[in-house]
């Protein structure tokens, strides 16, 4: 059984969004596996529920974007980079959030990345500097999980409550965040961070595929010794 689809709704970008020469394109589908009604966006959307009842799958043609749990860019955040998201579990591993209701463009205006994390609010206490790197566990770098303020000096970042890029997500665009409420958190806890890397500089998006090194060929087995013939008695 296939879902009949007409011409998808197209929502244009507002003037000045994304910066000069940068295009954004995102398509949302009502059901999983890219089925049902389709709506395309090239600019922010404050309430996708005005166009469809729910979001079951997503295709990001170009971006990056950030989706929000509730209308008006509120609630849990979900970073969406170029690629396909056939079901909700592909854009989040947080079991508390099942819905997407609004979308906003993420501006990535620098190929360089620098982030400062602070132990206390208003940039006080211990400080950790991260430069051009992804950190799956800030504990491994000798920093605690309490992060109460931050400065995104270069690039755009996403922080996670738990190690290994798991749990609620928090977006850090260029600017100062004096308190954890400024990035939408209810507690001063971040345990992993990574860069949001745009196609303009990183053609494969955030995760760069590496070519596997071919294994060394196994040595040829030594030839079996020829059996010696025994003389007839």
Backbone angles phi, psi at 116, to 5 degrees: -110, 125
Banded model confidence at residue 10, pLDDT cuts 50, 70, 90: very low
Q: What is the pLDDT of residue 111?
A: 80
pLDDT of residue 163: 94
Q: Which comes out higher in pLDDT, residue 15 or 131?
A: 131
Q: Is the sign of the CA dihedral 52, 172, 148, 78 positive or negative?
A: positive
Q: Kindly report which listed range (2-6, 30-34, 36-40, 100-104) carries the lowest average pLDDT score.
A: 2-6
In the chain, residues under CATH classification 2.60.20.10 are 9-105, 114-196
> In this structure, what are the phi and psi dihedrals at residue 118, rounded to the nearest 5 degrees?
-120, 145
Angle at 2 between CA 38 and CA 6, to 5 degrees: 35
Q: What is the pLDDT of residue 216?
A: 52
Per-position DSSP letters for the chain, written without gaps between them: ------SPEEEPPPTTTT-TT---EEEEEEEGGGEEEEEEESS-BS-GGGT-S---EEEEEE--EEEEEETTTEEEEEEE-SEEE-SGGGT---TT-----EEEE-----S--EEEEEEEGGGEEEEEEEES--BS-GGGGT--SB--EEEEEESEEEEEEETTTEEEEEEE-SEEE-SGGGGT-SSSB--EEEEE--TTT-TT-SS---PPPPPPPPPPPPPPPPPPPPPP-
**Measured distance CA(145)–CA(9) in Å, rounded:** 43
CATH superfamily of domain region 114-196: Crystallins (2.60.20.10)
Task: Give the pLDDT confidence of 49-71 residue by residue, as tens digits.
Answer: 999 999 999 999 988 999 999 99
Across-strand partners of 40?
10, 27
Residue 166 burial by Cβ neighbours in a 10 Å radius (0-12, 13-18, 19+): middle
What residues contact residue 207 under an 8 Å CB cut-off, 6+ apart?
none
Res. 107 pLDDT band, cuts 50 70 90: confident
In this structure, the strands spanning 74-80 and 65-70 are: antiparallel
Q: Which residue has the higher pLDDT, 216 or 73?
A: 73
Q: Report the predicted TM-score, pTM, of the whole model to 2 decimal places.
A: 0.74
Q: Over 80: is that where the pLDDT of 200 sits?
A: no
CB 159 within 8 A of CB 170: yes
- Percent over 90 (pLDDT), the chain: 61
Which of 30-34, 87-91, 118-122, 211-215 is predicted least confidently?
211-215
- Mean residue pLDDT of the chain comes to 80
Does residue 233 carry a pLDDT above 60? no
Write the CATH number of the domain with boundaries 9-105: 2.60.20.10
Query: Which has more pLDDT, 220 or 134?
Result: 134
Q: Could you read off the pLDDT of 95-106 as tens digits, one per residue?
A: 666 789 999 999
Give me the pLDDT at residue 86, please. 94
Question: For the residues 35-40, what does the mean pLDDT come to?
Answer: 96
What integer is the mean pLDDT of 192-200?
77
């Amino acid at each position: 059984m296939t879902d009949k689809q007409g011409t998808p709704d197209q929502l244009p970008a507002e003037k000045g969004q994304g910066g000069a020469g940068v295009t954004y394109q995102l398509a949302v589908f009502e059901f999983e596996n890219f089925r049902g009604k389709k709506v395309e966006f090239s600019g922010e959307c404050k309430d996708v529920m005005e166009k469809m009842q729910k979001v079951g799958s997503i295709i990001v043609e170009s971006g990056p974007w950030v989706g929000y749990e509730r209308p008006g860019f509120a609630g849990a955040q979900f970073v969406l980079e170029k690629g396909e998201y056939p079901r909700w579990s592909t854009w989040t591993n947080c079991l508390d959030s099942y819905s997407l209701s609004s979308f906003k463009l993420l501006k990535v205006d620098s190929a360089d990345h620098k982030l400062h994390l602070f132990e206390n609010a208003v940039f006080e206490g211990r400080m950790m500097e991260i430069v051009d790197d992804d950190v799956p566990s800030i504990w491994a770098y000798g920093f605690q999980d309490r992060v109460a303020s931050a400065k995104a000096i270069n690039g755009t970042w996403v922080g996670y409550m738990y190690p290994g890029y798991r749990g609620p997500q928090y977006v850090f665009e260029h600017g100062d965040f004096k308190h954890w409420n400024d990035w939408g958190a209810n507690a001063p806890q971040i345990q992993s961070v990574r860069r949001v890397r745009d196609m303009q500089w990183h053609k494969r998006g955030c995760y760069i595929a590496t070519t596997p090194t071919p294994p060394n060929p196994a040595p040829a087995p030594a030839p079996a010794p020829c059996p010696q013939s025994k003389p007839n008695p």
